[in-house]
Amino acid sequence: MIEALFEYTFLRNAVVSSLIASIVCGIIGTIIVEKKLVSMSGGIAHTSFGGIGLGYLLGFEPIIGGLIFAVIAALSISKIRRETKTKSDTLIGMFWAVGMALGILFISMASGYQPDMTSYLFGDILTVSTTYIKIMFVLGLFIVFIISAAFNYWKAYLFDEEYLKVMGVDVVKLEYLLFILISLSIVILIKVAGIILAIALLTIPPAISKLFTKDLKKIMVLSIIFGIILSFSGLYISYTFNIPSGSTIILVAVTVFLFTSFVKRKIN
């Protein structure tokens, strides 16, 4: 695979995109696990499918449509929950299904050639284009910058939002910003793992890291490292045996999680 790496652009792109995805997953994944936003993130991911469908229908880059839908979903869920006191779980469920429904509807309305949607649903890391790498890089850089620039605020926000509010910090802005960052991360992950599998890539590395440390920053750093190891080995296995990359990465990750927690329990 190493020789092939130098030979084929698509393999290089695959490696670079899984590197960026791992960094983003380590940071945002830790946040959504600790803030209990896993189902929220699942909802955002599935709503983005509506945007992808719209992109096909109107003939613009589907991933941009997905990005716009994801951001709108995130901000709407947050706003509606605040104003109507509807449980966010209920809202997430609605957005989740409506997004998928719109996606399928838009695609069926698109004239002529019906595109194959599996690469968006399950990811296809070997078809990541150089343009997509550029989008990933910019979004990833933005996420890393926003989180590290205000790390102490994020830590305080995740731990005890109300106290931060008492101290006079604008918590609502932080929440909106966080939801936008989650949307961006999901868009980054769509090509790597797909809408359906993205959530696993966000949650498994932090779950493994939490077995080793109880400090937020260390969990993030470890998650990034685990993410890189897991996605590279998944990529290698998928390339060698010619099996779907997204599923392989996730199955490898879950196996490592189960094995690690089993060993950890034995040791304790």
Partner 1 sequence: MYDIEIKNLQVNYGDVVALRDINLKVRHKSFLGIIGPNGGGKTTLFKVILGLIKPLSGTVKVKDNIKIGYVPQSTSFDKSFPILVKDVILMGKLDKTFIAFKRYSQKDKKEAVEVMKKLDIYHLKDRQIGELSGGQLQRVLIGRTLVNNPDVLLLDEPTSSLDSDAKREIFDLLKELNKNKTVLVITHDMEYVFKYIDSLACVNQNIHYHDEDKSITADSLKDVYNCPINLLLQSGAVQKRLGKEGEGLND
The contact set with partner 1 (CB under 8 A) reads 34, 148-150, 152-153, 155-156, 158-160, 162-169, 210, 213-216, 219
Instruction: For helices 194-209 and 38-58, give the axis angle rounded to 10 degrees.
Output: 150
DSSP the chain: -HHHHHH-HHHHHHHHHHHHHHHHIIIIIHHHHHTT-HHHHHHHHHHHHHHHHHHHHHTS-HHHHHHHHHHHHHHHHHHHHHHH---HHHHHHHHHHHHHHHHHHHHHHS-SPPPP-HHHHH--GGG--HHHHHHHHHHHHHHHHHHHHTHHHHHHHHH-HHHHHHTT--HHHHHHHHHHHHHHHHHHHHHHTHHHHHHHHHHHHHHHHTTT---HHHHHHHHHHHHHHHHHHHHHHHHHHT--HHHHHHHHHHHHHHHHHHHHHHH-
Q: How far is the CB of 4 from partner 1 (least distance, A)?
A: 40
For partner 1, the closer of residues 63 and 180 by Cβ is: 180
For partner 1, the closer of residues 59 and 168 by Cβ is: 168
For partner 1, the closer of residues 30 and 48 by Cβ is: 30
For partner 1, the closer of residues 12 and 155 by Cβ is: 155
Q: How far is the CB of 193 from partner 1 (least distance, A)?
A: 25
Q: How far is the CB of 156 from partner 1 (least distance, A)?
A: 5
CA–CA distance, 217 with 194 (Å, rounded to integer) = 27
For partner 1, the closer of residues 88 and 233 by Cβ is: 88
For partner 1, the closer of residues 98 and 144 by Cβ is: 144
Q: How far is the CB of 232 from partner 1 (least distance, A)?
A: 26
CA–CA distance, 52 with 117 (Å, rounded to integer) = 9
CB of 219 closer than 8 Å to CB of 265: no
CB of 29 closer than 8 Å to CB of 224: no
For partner 1, the closer of residues 203 and 247 by Cβ is: 203
Q: How far is the CB of 34 from partner 1 (least distance, A)?
A: 6
Q: How far is the CB of 206 from partner 1 (least distance, A)?
A: 10
Q: How far is the CB of 216 from partner 1 (least distance, A)?
A: 5
For partner 1, the closer of residues 153 and 236 by Cβ is: 153
Q: How far is the CB of 23 from partner 1 (least distance, A)?
A: 19
